[in-house]
Structure 1
């Protein structure tokens, strides 16, 4: 029985082993079958994919060939619809300039023609010879001078280089310089004339003279120290919301303090940081050689203007934000303001301490006046013995105990200018001819009251500055048609949202969010694109990148040809189509532009946006949407290539809409194109 049991056991073991081998064999066969099936399916899928790609490539080649066949015809129609319109607008503007020139020639209001050298020289000579003019007379003529400067700057800015001979450009720049130079001279003469009669004009209550004289562009606040009260600490010109703290050593001095605020700025152009580092000569307009930054003007009443140099240097274009410009600008002191990065806003303040001239004396009915050579004189402060630098070696708590303590200034920031951040304060350094923050101490700013105060080691010209690019890059933009040839451009920035409307050849700033400033002088006012750009920048609303702005802010760099063409086509279609920012514009490459487009028939928006990509040779509608996971340049189903965006959207638009596009006015197309090209929404968003 034991042998039988053993035999049964051996048989069972052999049976189990055979079963395992059978199972293993079946599993191996199954694995091989599955691998074979997987390999077959993979090969089949690969073949299908290759076939699909082959068919897609054939279809793409067919569409490209079809587009090339019709390219000449499409480009001819584009030429007629876009380029001919822009040329017609240029012709209209040339005729308008000619008419303005004729009207100026025929004008008989007694003012000199700034383009005629003889008339300007006569005007300047006669005014320079006038003596003992009162302040109001000087301010009245100063307004005329400023209007003449603006007239010349506008002429230089708006006139194409081919229409303005080089000799005329040089002559106009020299005239601007002469007009700028006479302003401080005449303001000093008016101040001297006023101070000679300080005792007559003195205030009974204080015993000193304090006088405020206003004009549209200049405000003069003058205080004369007649009482010489040793406890006098300063004076507040409350009506003008500005005042000063007088250093104690000057309380007993025979002095006057003058604060002149000008709306214009004739100083900044003298700074080596004012002009772009590099500027292509071929891109210059007639007025670019002396880039007055869209009419920004800056002249000091007490400082002589220097000769304008026509230094044309070109801007190195970069895609992303860099450490800053190289070479000469990099070598500047850290305290010097880079005027390519910062903008002077709210005017220029000229703070001077002056030696009080001899006063008129009444003797037997006669007014006797001692004449002093040299005219109005600055009073030296601090004294030469005071050599210490307030900004470097002294603690702020020690300033008030110095032998020559600092000068305090406080004022309310203009409510007509927007500061999105705390303003920077800088003083004008007449030696280096730069704005510098080196001696500005104890600065305090109250944003609710818009009040600022600070101290300086002496009396200087100063101004407020704001980062020119704080609203760049834009977060979003959208262009929407309104009734007729009228559109509205919305630009969403980091600190504000702007709405710019365009109608005919004019445009206006319609609204600004997140500000309580009084911008009634700007909003709702129709003007030309160039004037709107200048006005918005002077208000602190800079959405107009300069040629070197890529050095200071991240830029989605695009081919200039593609970008300019896109602006022209958007302008053509803008009366009937809405356009907007697309996130895929950052993913499509340097040679391509992606935008959102939708037809707005009878001003009723379509259900959804469509994406279009513009390239140097063709345009296409994309299959992806704004919510897709990845970028792809695949064409929209049953779509085709076209040579222009106009012909591309035509495939998906109603005939009525396209007829409206053909009927839009050439001045409207030109205006929209200018605004788009100025704001550069495709590269700065």
Structure 2
């Protein structure tokens, strides 16, 4: 081929390549244009759906809030009428008991009791103490039952002061009753042993006194057989004029005075900026502004270098979607003004560690169970002597019990003691054995502690040789000091829960089942009351099982019986859990309670694995009073803005948030309109507000969405 032909072919080849490249470029631009147009259309459609969902959310949430507020108003009105009736009944009471709210009446009552020396015998003191304890309980109930806005700080301080004075009165009278028993020891002495053995009991107090009248060194121990309480009598005490008082009380007036019972919130540190730091910040800010301006100029220069074809394409795209995007922006702005505003959610508080001495009991992590045992060593007062027809009595002024000091010799120094020291002078540790209270369920070996009056703490110092017999329900130990002791159990021994279920029986009736870490409990709910129905194989719970009370009373009874499934505000510090968002959790308990007459709810294994902004649970319609099958349950996802039914089941291998259909609702109550039957909706509408409140109180108290 000639040179001209080669150049011509080369030129034709270049033109063909240019045409192919141009065609490919135009095709790519067309594809980009098509893709962006589709994305714009999808964005517009998605925005329309979101806007519609926002409108529905605003409407649904306002309707839900109206229902909740209406129930709350009815409940407040009912409670206010109840409180007014209680005040009138208290005013009209004619049994001689003072009104603890009336400062004049209660002060007169306390002063007259202190001045009255005619009722210092044990039987009268225990009988009168029942009234004192009821007045204390009445004041404590008033402080928890009365709305905060109706109680001033002055009233609260006055109530606390009255409670303190009543507690001192009870303690003072019990000491005087003990003194009178000791003074009458000769009359009350046991005919067989010759020693004082006296027991007086009431529902809340057991006063037991042993007095050493015979000084028989062969007596090594003594047991109050009625209470199954045994203590050692060392030789040094067996030869002395001593007495031992064991005062067992079901109430605890010690723990509330300890700072170990108060939640320890961390204080937020306030950051104070110094002047030099502000000047440096201004300089750094000016330098950053200059750098940003330089970067913006560079970006503008790069933008001017774009190809004209791309500019034309973007212009064409803007022309196609300009109207739709403007419409989208207008709709979004309009809807945002109409969207439902969530109430502000405070930041979760942080709690400090318990940094006291190692022997101090943290009452945020341990519960005092079974009451208080005051084991006091006392001097035996002089006994009356009969001389002829005369009885000579030594009077002590002022009359009061006289404690006897006793501190056991250190075990470490026992072998190194002086061999010439008389064994009768040795002070060994006192062995104490007791049967655990019949109405308290201990789920582990109890922990024993002694009240330290100076530090106002329960202390584990001075105890040894602890022995727990679970089958016989006995507990024994040795202590180096006499004093006030108690038994404790881990507050969170039953947490976290393994599972839970709330299932309706019928209208205004349901059962809450919680399988805790050790025990399985069932709480029956009917109208405004509830009761513990399970477990039935624990005789320790016989006194509270089947007893219909308010949720607050049931919580108090179960805690006292050792069945604590009610987390404290700072329990997350002691239990490994996934703390869910408080606003979501709060709404869930409200909505579950509203629908508890027709819908069953249960735990989900996925809940603890998801973030705190997501709550996963199971739900099913349940109109018949019978257990549900596995296939009846569906998995639901709740966030701050929506609740939806998921395609997945509880038994899937992996979690998927894909919803069933396109139904999104802002709450369970309105989601029921899509997933529940007409009969279920009618039952929910007929539900009584007192039942709703009872269920909600129990759900909030157990916090099953967080602690399962």
Same fold, TM-score > 0.5, yes or no: yes
2:39 and 2:258 map into 1 onto residues whose CA distance is 60
Match of 1:301 in 2: none
Gaps of at least 5 residues in structure 1 are 1-48, 281-313, 319-323
2:93 paired with 1:107 = yes
2:543 paired with 1:521 = yes
1:281-680 correspondence to structure 2 within 5 Å? 317=349, 325-326=352-353, 329-330=354-355, 332-363=356-387, 365=389, 367-382=391-406, 389-390=410-411, 403-512=426-535, 516-603=538-625, 605=628, 607-636=631-660, 638-680=661-703
Instruction: Please tell me the root mean square deviation across aligned C-alpha atoms, in Å.
Output: 2.7
Deviates further, 365-374 or 220-229:
365-374
Match of 1:231 in 2: 218
1:61 and 1:316 map into 2 onto residues whose CA distance is 33
Deviation, structure 1 residue 240: 1.2
Deviates further, 595-604 or 105-114:
595-604
Deviation, structure 1 residue 601: 2.6
Deviation, structure 1 residue 58: 7.2
Question: Cα 1:467–1:402, aligned 2, differ >3 Å: closer, same or farther?
Answer: farther
Query: TM-score with structure 1 length normalisation?
Result: 0.82
Deviation, structure 1 residue 99: 1.4
Question: Cα 1:630–1:83, aligned 2, differ >3 Å: closer, same or farther?
Answer: farther
Match of 1:148 in 2: 135
Deviation, structure 1 residue 541: 0.6
1:244 aligned counterpart, secondary structure: strand
The answer on whether the counterparts of 2:176 and 2:401 sit within 8 Å (CA) in structure 1 is: no
Deviates further, 643-652 or 345-354:
643-652
Question: Cα 1:50–1:495, aligned 2, differ >3 Å: closer, same or farther?
Answer: farther
1:60 and 1:401 map into 2 onto residues whose CA distance is 92
2:532 aligned counterpart, secondary structure: strand
Match of 1:129 in 2: 115
Deviates further, 550-559 or 260-269:
550-559
2:45 and 2:607 map into 1 onto residues whose CA distance is 25
Question: Cα 1:602–1:445, aligned 2, differ >3 Å: closer, same or farther?
Answer: closer
2:91 aligned counterpart, secondary structure: helix
Deviation, structure 1 residue 69: 2.2
The answer on whether the counterparts of 2:195 and 2:211 sit within 8 Å (CA) in structure 1 is: yes
The answer on whether the counterparts of 1:488 and 1:499 sit within 8 Å (CA) in structure 2 is: yes
Deviates further, 579-588 or 415-424:
579-588
Match of 2:180 in 1: 193
2:72 paired with 1:83 = no
Post-superposition Cα deviations, 1:568-615, rounded to whole Å, max 9, x if no partner, equal: 000001000100001221233222212101001334647421122222
2:568 aligned counterpart, secondary structure: coil
2:38 and 2:493 map into 1 onto residues whose CA distance is 49
2:86 aligned counterpart, secondary structure: helix
Deviation, structure 1 residue 82: 2.6
The answer on whether the counterparts of 2:236 and 2:425 sit within 8 Å (CA) in structure 1 is: no
Post-superposition Cα deviations, 1:517-548, rounded to whole Å, max 9, x if no partner, equal: 33221111111111111111111111111011
Match of 1:242 in 2: 229
Deviation, structure 1 residue 470: 0.6
1:70 and 1:647 map into 2 onto residues whose CA distance is 10
1:474 aligned counterpart, secondary structure: coil
1:627 and 1:424 map into 2 onto residues whose CA distance is 41
2:638 and 2:424 map into 1 onto residues whose CA distance is 68
The answer on whether the counterparts of 2:243 and 2:379 sit within 8 Å (CA) in structure 1 is: yes
Match of 2:311 in 1: none
Deviation, structure 1 residue 81: 2.8
Deviation, structure 1 residue 632: 2.5
Which residue of 242, 247, 254 corresponds with 1:267?
254
The answer on whether the counterparts of 1:315 and 1:547 sit within 8 Å (CA) in structure 2 is: no
Question: Cα 1:242–1:89, aligned 2, differ >3 Å: closer, same or farther?
Answer: same
1:403 and 1:225 map into 2 onto residues whose CA distance is 18
Post-superposition Cα deviations, 1:410-466, rounded to whole Å, max 9, x if no partner, equal: 110012101110111111111211111110111111110011111111211111000
The answer on whether the counterparts of 1:621 and 1:639 sit within 8 Å (CA) in structure 2 is: no
Question: Cα 1:119–1:420, aligned 2, differ >3 Å: closer, same or farther?
Answer: same
Deviation, structure 1 residue 61: 4.6
2:186 aligned counterpart, secondary structure: coil
2:577 and 2:497 map into 1 onto residues whose CA distance is 10
1:202 and 1:213 map into 2 onto residues whose CA distance is 14
Match of 1:177 in 2: 164
Deviation, structure 1 residue 51: 12
The answer on whether the counterparts of 1:255 and 1:379 sit within 8 Å (CA) in structure 2 is: no
1:147 aligned counterpart, secondary structure: helix
Gaps of at least 5 residues in structure 2 are 1-34, 268-345
Post-superposition Cα deviations, 1:146-186, rounded to whole Å, max 9, x if no partner, equal: 11101110111122211112211111111000001111111
Highest Rg: 1 or 2?
Answer: 2
- Which has the larger share of helix? 2
Say how many residue pairs are matched. 590
Question: Cα 1:402–1:678, aligned 2, differ >3 Å: closer, same or farther?
Answer: farther
